[in-house]
Amino acid sequence: MESFSKEAYQELFDAAPDAVIVADIRGKIKMVSSKVEQIFGYPKEELTGRDITFLVPDHFMRALSENILKSGILFDVKEMNRVQDLVARRKDGSEFPVEVSLRPIRIDGKHWITAAIRDVSEKKKMISELKNSLQALERKNRELEQFAYIASHDLQEPLHTINSFVQLLGQEYGGCLEEEAKKYLHFIEKAAGRMSALIHDLLEYSRLGQKAEMSEVDCEEVLQSTLQNIDSLIKSSGAKVEAGPLPHLWANKTMLILLFQNLISNAIKFGKKDVIPEIRIRAEEQKHFWEFAFEDNGIGIEEEQANKIFIIFQRLHSRAEYEGTGIGLAQCRKIVELHGGRIWVKSEAGRGSTFYFTIGKRHK
Ligand code: ADP
């Protein structure tokens, strides 16, 4: 068989995207690619014949397994073909993180090792920046939730006082009040009641996920419990709820019931006038998660509004049209995200909506 010349091998190595070093099994460098010169700062001639450990900082070498060093065989067969994270040293003494993958080869009947080396400084930097941003975001989120919890908790007490005195005023002085004054009192009562509902929902929202126990949950059972909870709404609206086979999930059951309940009751609440609400639920298995769809024949949502509705307190309708606090879908999003999934809606005004969400197959 025709064999390649040394120059041809060199060209092949130089064409590789990674820096490539060929060494014998004791680690003595035979050949290096041009990329090696670039990332380590040594000319090829300075490397050939040297021990490959020359490119690794001493402190890192010392940390390597004693056994490997003692045996004189640097390359453990078990480590072959696996990408390893190592630290390398440039000619100027600076250190940088590398990914190295080793491969045994045979040339002219002799065993050699090729090491493909990739400088991962940029990658590592990006990962660590991303991690920092995520941690900062999580911290901010926690702070915000804590704030929402404390604020809503502390607001309850003065509101309770307002409610009690408005009631007392009505009961004890109602007889002496003029019609206009009674109307004002009624408005105060209504507003205080509404604020109570908002604070209650906000508290529930910020409590979501605290001590959430996960277990195997049968979604058919989740649906049955949901339908029982909103039985009177279903009966009074005449809504029809149809569901395909639903899976078992690793989830928090109470949260799933709340999720189903919010989606089904919204589908009924935002139904078209004089049309019986019909809700179709299906779950489709994907590789890593289940994708659920809750489809309704309701009033639908304008495309440009579709992203807003998952934000807390965002509503598209006045209270006169539809009752609500605007927390339901924010709750749904939080529940889905706590289960490692995402939620979105596809809809067209006047043509019904389909709410989709995903839940990972096993998210512990
Ligand atoms: P609420 O129901 O208290 O208004 P949500 O957070 O549950 O709050 O919903 C936010 C808004 O999204 C609703 O006010 C409504 O405008 C819109 N919406 C939610 N579900 C549907 C649906 N199935 N069909 C049409 N619009 C919907």
Cα–Cα distance for residue pair 147/300, rounded to 1 Å? 34
**243 and 350 co-located in one domain:** yes
Q: Last residue of a domain, which of 101, 119, 137? A: 119
Give the pLDDT confidence score for residue 200 in this predicted structure: 85
Q: Which domain holds residue 111?
A: 6-119
201 CB within 6 A, ligand 1: no
298 CB within 6 A, ligand 1: yes
For the chain, list residues with pLDDT below 50: 67, 72, 363-364
Give the pLDDT confidence score for residue 74 in this predicted structure: 54
Give the pLDDT confidence score for residue 67 in this predicted structure: 47
Q: Which of 258, 263, 266 to mutate to test the pocket of ligand 1 (most atoms within 8 A of CB)?
A: 266
**37 and 137 co-located in one domain:** no
**218 and 354 co-located in one domain:** yes
Cβ proximity of 257 and 265 under 8 Å: no
Cα–Cα distance for residue pair 193/214, rounded to 1 Å? 35
Beta pairing, strands 240-243 & 278-285 = parallel
239 CB within 6 A, ligand 1: no
pLDDT tens figures, 114-141: 889 999 999 999 999 999 999 998 888 8
Instruction: Return the DSSP state at 320.
Output: T
**336 and 364 co-located in one domain:** yes
What residues are paired with 97 via a beta bridge?
A: 87
User: What is the tally of structural domains in the chain?
Assistant: 3
pLDDT tens figures, 226-282: 999 999 999 999 999 999 999 999 999 999 999 999 999 999 999 999 999 999 999
**295 and 308 co-located in one domain:** yes
CATH number at residue 54: 3.30.450.20
328 CB within 6 A, ligand 1: yes
Cα–Cα distance for residue pair 75/64, rounded to 1 Å? 11
271 CB within 6 A, ligand 1: no
CATH number at residue 195: 1.10.287.130
